[in-house]
Amino acid sequence: MVVIELYQIELHDEVWRFTSNQSDVLANGYHWQSHMIARDASIEQSDDPLRADTSFEVAAGSELANLALNPPLNVAPRVTILRSEDGGRVFYTVFAGRLMAGVWNDGFVTVELEAVHTELQVTGLTETITPQCRYSLGSRKCGVLEKPRVVIIERVEGSRVSLVYPVPEEYAFGYLKQGQNFHFIDRQPDSLTLVLLHPALLAEGERAEITRGCDRTLTTCHRRFNNAVNFGGAVNLPTKNPYVGDPIDR
């Protein structure tokens, strides 16, 4: 029995297609690029669709590993796994869900997935109130229209990226995109330097896009985006219950 699996990752209007097969595959009218992917068969062994989570491993430094370790802010890429047991004549969808996290594992990255069914597990119409904003940057309630800025990378040293031209110092918590790879920006020491969350292989002298991020505090909302009127946090939320003095579960 020849087993072939296809992996489709979708993010906004971009789609990546990989296969665990030793060579590229043409299926369903698309080209699927061969990738070193190892996955167990746990999703076929679960009789509870609400617990049908799975994971797979890819080599660290690969395009798929970088996508798992550096997904865009506040977005979970959608993942669909298709499987054929007849040599590729017919493919069936065995998993549909979202990419939750990437975890380093001795030269490999474990890509953790969550089934789409778990998104429906809501016990009631409740809302958690915190001092931080509960709206995603760019969402309807946030109201910010954010556009990426094109920059030229001068030099890359591990996770430290130097730019040819200065940019405003407001790109911490955002992300950098070059080609199909996204990288979180951990901090911005100055107008010519970005420090990424993880070391990255970027093409020096080439263009990239950087997008501002938000740490969901009122200070950043006001100073960076001038959007305090739409801030979705409770800045005056007390840490103690004013009536009995017990800590408030936030």
Residue-wise DSSP of the chain: ---EEEEEEEETTEEEEEESSSS-EEETTEEEEE--EEE-SHHHH-S-GGG--EEEEEETTSHHHHHHHSPPTT---EEEEEEESSSSS--EEEEEEEEEEEEEETTEEEEEEEEGGGGG---SS-----SS--SPTTSTTT------EEEEEEEEETTEEEESS---S--TT-EEEETTEEEEEEEEEETTEEEESS-----TTSEEEEE----S-HHHHHHHH--GGG--S-TT--SB-TTT-PBP--
pLDDT at residue 63, as a whole number: 78
Identify the weakest region by mean pLDDT among 78-87, 109-118, 188-197.
Answer: 109-118
pLDDT at 245 over 60: no
pLDDT confidence of 119, banded at 50, 70, 90?
A: very low
40: CB partners within 8 A, 6+ apart: 54
pLDDT confidence of 247, banded at 50, 70, 90?
A: low
pLDDT confidence of 120, banded at 50, 70, 90?
A: very low
In this structure, the strands spanning 14-19 and 30-34 are: parallel
pLDDT at 155 over 90: yes
Tokens of 23: 């060579």
pLDDT digits (tens, 9 = 90+) for 173-214: 898 998 888 899 999 999 999 999 888 888 889 999 999 989
Tell me yes or no: is domain 149-230 CATH 1.25.40.80. Answer: no
pLDDT at 46 over 70: no
pLDDT at 45 over 80: no
> What residue segments make up the domains of the chain, in order of their start?
4-119, 149-230
pLDDT at residue 223, as a whole number: 92
